[in-house]
Structure 1
């Protein structure tokens, strides 16, 4: 019985001893400590020094017999000071493990606290774990595990971290981060978010120069206005100065502001002033106005809600069934409230060599102004406007369109108004209705002439036809010449139906047999076909310089009448007695 009892005690003590040894396994370093430094130390490694501890202990069964210190422990090494509740010093390896209230102060100005830490005196590398906080005079990093290399001056984490920058009240969240202490530079290699009072920056890869307050983007990045989240910039390669709030964008970039989107090869935006610019393949998309602005260079003014495009700029106004194309040397788009101050209206200005093309209307002038909201287009500076087989010129031309029907419904001309239309658009005869005056308003219906009102020194040359009600055949009566204070012309089926002349009226209709070719045109008649755009690409040219349309000049009635008159004159002359001169 005694033998069995002694055997039982031996087994118990042997097992207890084995358990105590299992508590303190041999030192096993993290692979981080075995990585070679890119920068070698300038001197041989010094030993870690103990400066203070409440108790010093050495037990063979603990920590491979290495000493461990408890209570107010303080160690020094190469200018760094480590404090903790418990520290194990592996003397041969010049390595320590610190447990509980770890506090490390470094000569580079950084201060680190954590629950636990390991430090290698030979490589001057440290790993901190549990509630890690690394601070310097300008920021604070919080994470669960931090790897710190004193020689290279780098610290990194890979299990999510938060960085606080008091200078600009920024908070940075990221999964992976590397902090270069001496350069005050941080690289985020995974998704990150920089949040301050005004803006949120999000992306996948950034080099943050904290000392300069500059973030360099390498990958998809957005900078969003917190007060207006719909306003933001996007780039895949760029730079952001967080002090001046300037953004430089270089790859696949765009600026979204006030519902509009600006893109270009190289871009810039100042978040404080709201000024932005773009060069190369510039496009400003305004979905609310169904309008695009394109060119080689562009500027935007966010606070004024305006933009300017130069270097072969052009605008595309997209309608349901058609589009209007506008080009000039400079195009400006802006918005301003109406007279009530409640409704914002959109405007477009194109100046110097302005050109416009739409399927049912074309125009050219020195400058063009377009009220997109109300559908009013002003042409100023030797303007010409064409629609169908009609041409209008004057000092100022205002074309009014119905945005819903997408058609010009009236044209108002101020000063030297001159409207020309083919008398019959189905032939190539040089027969043109012409109306002139100081002021003119032309009304269109279904893109065809309906009425023309001319006020002030009004004159007209209009072909008069008569249609047989039964056969529907048309007979040319002659040409009506009118001179009066006000002329009103009514058209039906592209033909003149009625002409009314008011104030000092003088109106006569002459048969074709009495009208020569010269009398069928006003002296300043100019039916311009060479300058008229025939396709939207023509808006980029000063003139497409098309060959002038050739019209035939036929007036058999006049020719026959002239032949009769000539014959009568010849017969009369033949009957006159001949005088014989006496010698």
Structure 2
């Protein structure tokens, strides 16, 4: 029993000694007094006051010290130092030595080696090394100025957690967010909730992201988009290097060009802001809206280069395109939106309404003002096929030159080694005969893919045969190949890979 009492006494003495070690120490004051009537249990300190407690030093002009409560109120030009790391100035500070918590107000300014913060009211929890404010603050470091309504500053890792009306101002841009975590040592900002970054060059929006304000490198997710001039880039994930003007995007990519009324989509894209260029892969598709009827172009890779007035779209490998009245396929395609010229290379095939058109190279020219098809060139081995109920109308020659009216191929000139097989019908569409003729040049007028009139130049050789007089084997020109099964019938068909 004696040992137990002795242990308790030793414990109490140790605790008292430990508590005494945590007492606020008054190092100096010019004057002190006690006024029990007005401030019971307090000592009033005046002039050049120096106070210490557990690694902090406090200077002020006036203080009220509650010794029993281990509590002090400091007034007038208050300076609170935590070692060499934190210097705080204010007009008033309350400090509790037991909880090691301070509350300051009146032009509060706090500095460390990384930043300067100013606010009207500031809480300082020394145990958790946390500064927090609820009525607005401004934080400045070597690069940025950060303001917010409420926030926390974690001294251990130099992290600001700014909440509500957060604005980070950089010489090159302004970042606004609902919630931002900012590290003053690295200059890295982590964005949460609706956030925008606005500069002279572009606007960035996301609902989650990361921004390195020193390196100008960022990564945005959740409804991320970049807007600049008349373009908008959207994706599930966006990486952006502001110094290089370079962005890469992943998943559900949409690049909108409002000047050319066009859209690029795909699974991965890279965008070069200074060159005004982009390339897209993984189900890449370029969409051009022409008179409320969109043209969809797909290729393994789509490359868009140049300023809006001279934009060039290139698609490579297994290219297909679809429009309600026009579709086609080839190995590669080159479309100059400045002059309206589209060129198809390597085994190109074009379907214009009911007509199938092939050749070594196909060129289409758009009217840049109306976006309607204007003319057509098929160079080398030109071949047009149109399916009749009992056969195929065919036009063949070295080169073909065509003219469109309201996106309908209306006039065709075949130049060089021209040949034609035409199922001639009367007004009631009854078959009259089968025309088979060859000459050096033929001019046709068409409507809905059917020949209305024809004009043969330079000694035509041929005639119109009764159907019974022209054998089936003779009803197809050399090189005939009907490829209807390959024709895209909808915008979804452009992604179908045909067997080689």
**TM-score normalised by the chain length of structure 1:** 0.77
Coordinate RMSD, CA, aligned: 2.4
Bigger radius of gyration: 1
**Residue 566 of structure 1: aligned partner:** none
Q: Distance in 2 between matches of 1:212 and 1:452?
A: 68
**Residue 358 of structure 1: aligned partner:** 323
Q: CA deviation at 1:475?
A: 7.5
Q: CA deviation at 1:462?
A: 4.3
Question: What do residues 224-269 of structure 1 show as CA deviations (whole Å, max 9, x unaligned)?
Answer: 21x23xx122111221111111111122222223322222222211
Question: What do residues 254-304 of structure 1 show as CA deviations (whole Å, max 9, x unaligned)?
Answer: 222332222222221111112112222222222332222222212211111
Q: Structure 2 matches for 1:163-174, cutoff 5 A?
A: 163-165=139-141, 167-168=142-143, 170-174=144-148
User: Is structure 2 residue 496 aligned with structure 1 residue 541?
Assistant: yes
Q: CA deviation at 1:65?
A: 4.8
**Residue 421 of structure 1: aligned partner:** 386
Q: Structure 2 matches for 1:353-432, cutoff 5 A?
A: 353-402=318-367, 407-422=372-387, 427-432=388-393
Q: Distance in 2 between matches of 1:297 and 1:519?
A: 51
**Residue 578 of structure 1: aligned partner:** none
Q: Distance in 2 between matches of 1:96 and 1:351?
A: 76
Query: Of the candidates 70, 77, 83, which is equivalent to residue 94 of structure 1?
Result: 70
Query: Of the candidates 405, 414, 436, which is equivalent to residue 454 of structure 1?
Result: 414
Q: Distance in 1 between matches of 2:447 and 2:46?
A: 109
Question: What do residues 182-240 of structure 1 show as CA deviations (whole Å, max 9, x unaligned)?
Answer: 21001012220000100111111111122221111221111221x23xx1221112211
Q: Distance in 1 between matches of 2:425 and 2:482?
A: 26
Q: CA deviation at 1:133?
A: 0.3
Q: Distance in 2 between matches of 1:150 and 1:449?
A: 82
- Work out the number of aligned pairs and report it: 479
Contact kept, 8 Å, 1:258 with 1:305, in 2: the verdict is no
**TM-score normalised by the chain length of structure 2:** 0.89
**Residue 463 of structure 1: aligned partner:** 422
**Residue 9 of structure 2: aligned partner:** none
Q: CA deviation at 1:364?
A: 0.1
Q: Distance in 1 between matches of 2:358 and 2:295?
A: 20
Higher strand share: 2
Q: 1:284 to 1:449 in 2, by over 3 A?
A: closer
Indicate the SS of the match to 1:67. strand
Q: Structure 2 matches for 1:435-514, cutoff 5 A?
A: 435-437=396-398, 439-455=399-415, 457-463=416-422, 476=432, 479-484=435-440, 486-491=441-446, 494-501=450-457, 505-513=458-466
**Residue 57 of structure 2: aligned partner:** 81
| Structure 2 spans left out of the alignment, 5+ residues | 1-17
Q: Structure 2 matches for 1:30-429, cutoff 5 A?
A: 44=19, 46-107=22-83, 109-165=85-141, 167-168=142-143, 170-225=144-199, 227-228=200-201, 231-336=202-307, 344-402=309-367, 407-422=372-387, 427-429=388-390
Q: CA deviation at 1:496?
A: 4.3
Q: Distance in 1 between matches of 2:400 and 2:379?
A: 7
Contact kept, 8 Å, 2:393 with 2:423, in 1: the verdict is no
**Residue 24 of structure 1: aligned partner:** none
